[in-house]
Amino acid sequence: MQAVRTSFKKSSLILGIIPAIFFQLVMGVGPSLATFVLSFTDITGVKGVPWKFIGLANYKELFFQQNHRDLIQVIKNTIIFCVAVTVIQNLIALFIAIALNNKMIRGRDFYRAVVFMPTVLGVLVTSLVWLCVLNPMDGPVAKFIGLFGLTSGFFTSSKTALACCIWTQIWMAMGHSMVINLAGLQSIPNELYEAGAIDGATGSQSFRYITFPLLWPTLNVNIMLAIIGSLQSFQVILLTTGGRNMATQTLAARVMYFAFNINSGSGAGAMRQGYGAAWAMFLFVFILTATLIYYRSVKRRDELI
């Protein structure tokens, strides 16, 4: 592989890329690979405590020695969280993008700005706002459903907590999918719709035969991002319901719970980081499997078209 000739000094070019490569190796790729190694140790988050390799003990505990109901619940939660977030977020983002792409609608930039705002507000502000709005005692939503004689514990009840986390996650992340969809829609040439209209295509036909196929690559990116993102996401869960409420624990939340004991809010506590690393490896395999399953099913579908 031959480098392109340049009159800049090679040494300067190399000096320029060293910081980025150094950080990528030491803070990025290195730690990622080390997760695998640490998953065979009993290392803790406390400095100076001796640690040793303990073979497969962490994995044994993860799969066989802990309460089976907990493990099954965590896997179930992870799947529900991932599927619900991916499907609902992308469906609504698609609808909003199509609505906001309609030239008949006035004030589109404002609506787009409003829906995108949580991306800027960040996960902490989002979580605290929804904790307040979904306050089970006297929040506005509690009052509203109270009019129909209903009550709910929202984030505090084991029946509804996961749904509330899913809702908050979607509220936060949907703007991201929407702007990507909107950019995809705007890149579809208008002539196609005009040609379709001349040929007498109805609204639903032009969606089926023009919009959807041309937007598909964009949707595909969005779905992929949502699957991976929701499987890795634990911030909303830990900030709203903590780590002890098993009803909301996903794999990613468990990693943080065991490794950093984040539930207590201070990061102090047991901090079983070797065990946490084993969970992180399990999560990694889980994400890999989910992505492959999605990729395979999409490929099959693409072949059918």
Partner 1 sequence: MNSLNNIKNLGIRLLLYLFIAVIVFIYLFPLFYAFNTSLKTKLEYMSDPTSIATSFHFENYVQAFKKANLSAYVWNSIFYMMVCTTASMMMSIFLAFPLSRGYLKYATYIFGLFVIGMFLPDGTIPQFQLILKLGLYNTRLGYMIGMIGGGGIPLFVYMVYIKGIPKEFDEAASIDGCGYFRFMFQVLIPLMKPAIASMSIITAIGVWNDIIRAIIYLSSKELYPITRGLYVFQGQYQVDMPQQMAALIMVAAPLIIAYAFLQRYIVDGIVAGAVKS
Give the footprint of partner 1 on residues 119-158 (CB under 8 A): 119-125, 128-130, 132-133, 135, 138-140, 143
Give the footprint of partner 1 on residues 13-42 (CB under 8 A): 13-14, 16-17, 19-21, 23-38
Query: Do 116 and 179 meet the contact criterion of CB atoms below 8 Å apart?
Result: yes
In whole angstroms, give the CA distance from residue 104 to residue 102.
Answer: 5
Q: How far is the CB of 248 from partner 1 (least distance, A)?
A: 16
Amino acid at 81: F
| 102: number of Cβ within 10 Å | 9
* Number of residues binding to partner 1, judged by CB under 8 A: 98
Query: Do 253 and 23 meet the contact criterion of CB atoms below 8 Å apart?
Result: no
In whole angstroms, give the CA distance from residue 216 to residue 222.
Answer: 10
By beta-carbon proximity to partner 1, the closer residue of 160 and 269 is: 269
Q: What is the C-alpha radius of gyration for the chain, rounded to an integer number of angstroms?
A: 24
Determine which residue in the list 62, 84, 89, 112 makes contact with partner 1, applying CB under 8 A. 112
Part in contact with partner 1 (CB under 8 A); list of ranges 65-73, 154-162, 257-265, 293-301: 257-265
Q: Which of 218, 236, 214 lies closest to 170 in space, CA to CA? A: 236
Determine which residue in the list 54, 57, 83, 221 makes contact with partner 1, applying CB under 8 A. 221
Query: Do 174 and 92 meet the contact criterion of CB atoms below 8 Å apart?
Result: yes
Beta bridge partners of 53: 41
Determine which residue in the list 87, 91, 105, 145 makes contact with partner 1, applying CB under 8 A. 105
Cα 230 vs. chain centroid, distance in angstroms? 2
Establish if 91 lies at the interface with partner 1 (CB under 8 A). no
Give the footprint of partner 1 on residues 269-288 (CB under 8 A): 273, 276-277, 280-281, 283-284
Establish if 292 lies at the interface with partner 1 (CB under 8 A). no
Interface pattern 42-61 for partner 1 (x via CB under 8 A)? -x-x-x--------------
In the chain, DSSP assigns E strands to none
Give the footprint of partner 1 on residues 159-218 (CB under 8 A): 171, 176, 179-180, 183, 203
The DSSP code for 25 is I
Establish if 289 lies at the interface with partner 1 (CB under 8 A). no
Part in contact with partner 1 (CB under 8 A); list of ranges 63-71, 89-97, 151-159, 296-304: 89-97
